[in-house]
């Protein structure tokens, strides 16, 4: 079992910039989800990809977008960063209803 | 839309004691999963236990067990013989069961309970 990995672990950006976060899924998992966790809060669902297609989205604007690749790795892209985008971003790969989370990327927007 | 409520922001118990964390949820779905996740200071979200709503039997995983009351929409977590390593944030989460061609809502999390195990 390889687990879920994410890169980078920490990132600092300035308001208005764009950022790409990366996730490598657990082997055999064809579904990947992304979550935003603000400090002291539970994670909030951003979107989910299944077989390279987005098949679910939470209450996040279109400047949050993603990709899933044939090897099931994934990217989260955020355009026009805002201060409120500062958070821990978690990737989760899943199969048959159980999600396995990565260690997250801590994003700070100044 | 689903909501998950954890009414205990923080709990503290002595090592070896038993502790119960509360969770209630609201949904109109009939088929769903419920989860407890643990997030230690290292921030990695770790699955503790999973319950499928159609199963009446409460799930157990070693020292961890749940009390699932579907009619009351309650899903509490009991930790027996608590250990120092159990210190973490605990999140209750809901996910509707996916069917082929259906959209996904992902996991809906509560705000969490910070559990502290005292030596």
Provide the pLDDT for residue A71: 85
Provide the pLDDT for residue A25: 87
Task: Read off the pLDDT of each residue in A34-61 and give the average, rounded to a whole number.
Answer: 93
Task: Read off the pLDDT of each residue in B5-13 and give the average, rounded to a whole number.
Answer: 97
Instruction: Enumerate the residues of chain A whose CB falls inside 8 A of the CB of residue B98.
Output: 97
Closest by CA to B55, choosing from B24, B10, B86, B97, is: B97
CB spacing of B44 vs A97 below 8 angstroms: no
Interface test with A, best of B3, B107, B112 (most A CBs within 10 A): B107
Out of A47, A98, A101, the one facing B45 most closely (by C-beta) is A101
Provide the pLDDT for residue B102: 56
B84 vs B102 pLDDT, higher one: B84
Provide the pLDDT for residue B82: 97
Provide the pLDDT for residue B15: 97
pLDDT digits (tens, 9 = 90+) for B16-29: 999 999 999 999 98
pLDDT digits (tens, 9 = 90+) for B41-81: 878 899 999 999 988 899 999 999 999 999 999 999 999 99
Task: Read off the pLDDT of each residue in B73-91 and give the average, rounded to a whole number.
Answer: 97
What CA–CA distance (Å, rounded) separates B29 from B78?
Answer: 25
Query: Smallest CA–CA separation between A98 and chain B, in Å?
Result: 8
Provide the pLDDT for residue A21: 98
CB spacing of B109 vs A42 below 8 angstroms: yes
Q: How confident is the model at residue B116 (pLDDT cuts 50, 70, 90)?
A: very high
CB spacing of B106 vs A56 below 8 angstroms: yes
CB spacing of A100 vs B112 below 8 angstroms: no
Interface of A with B (CB under 8 A): 31, 33, 35, 41-48, 50, 55-56, 58, 88, 90, 92, 97-104
Provide the pLDDT for residue B99: 66
Out of B4, B33, B91, the one facing A97 most closely (by C-beta) is B33
Residue B101 in this model has a pLDDT that exceeds 60: no
Residue A17 in this model has a pLDDT that exceeds 70: yes
> Is the alpha carbon torsion for B80, B44, B112, B8 positive or negative?
positive
Provide the pLDDT for residue A1: 55
B103 vs A34 pLDDT, higher one: A34
Inter-CA distances, A71 with A26, A31, A104, B9, B59, Å: 10, 11, 20, 40, 33
Task: Read off the pLDDT of each residue in A8-18 and give the average, rounded to a whole number.
Answer: 97
What CA–CA distance (Å, rounded) separates A35 from A14?
Answer: 21
What CA–CA distance (Å, rounded) separates B25 from B2?
Answer: 7
Residue A14 in this model has a pLDDT that exceeds 70: yes
Task: Read off the pLDDT of each residue in A45-70 and give the average, rounded to a whole number.
Answer: 93
């Amino acid at each position: 079992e390889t687990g879920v990995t994410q890169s980078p672990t920490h990132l600092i950006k300035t308001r208005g910039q764009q950022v790409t976060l990366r996730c490598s899924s657990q082997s055999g998992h064809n579904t990947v989800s992304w979550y935003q966790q603000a400090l002291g809060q539970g994670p909030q669902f951003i979107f989910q990809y299944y077989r390279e297609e987005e098949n679910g989205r939470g209450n996040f604007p279109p400047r949050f977008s993603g990709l899933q690749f044939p090897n099931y790795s994934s990217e989260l892209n955020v355009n026009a960063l805002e201060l409120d985008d500062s958070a821990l971003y978690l990737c989760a790969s899943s199969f048959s209803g159980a999600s396995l989370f990565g260690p997250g990327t801590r994003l700070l927007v100044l | 839309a689903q909501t998950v409520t954890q009414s205990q922001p923080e709990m503290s118990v002595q090592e070896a004691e038993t502790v119960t964390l509360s969770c209630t949820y609201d949904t109109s779905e009939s088929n769903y999963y419920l989860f407890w996740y643990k997030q230690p200071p290292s921030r990695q979200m770790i699955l503790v236990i999973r319950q499928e709503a159609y199963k009446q039997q409460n799930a157990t995983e070693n020292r961890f067990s749940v009390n699932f009351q579907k009619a009351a929409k309650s899903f509490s977590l009991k930790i027996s013989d608590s250990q120092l390593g159990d210190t973490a944030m605990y999140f209750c989460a809901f996910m509707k069961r996916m069917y082929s061609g259906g959209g996904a809502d992902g996991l809906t999390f509560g705000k969490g309970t910070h559990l502290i195990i005292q030596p």
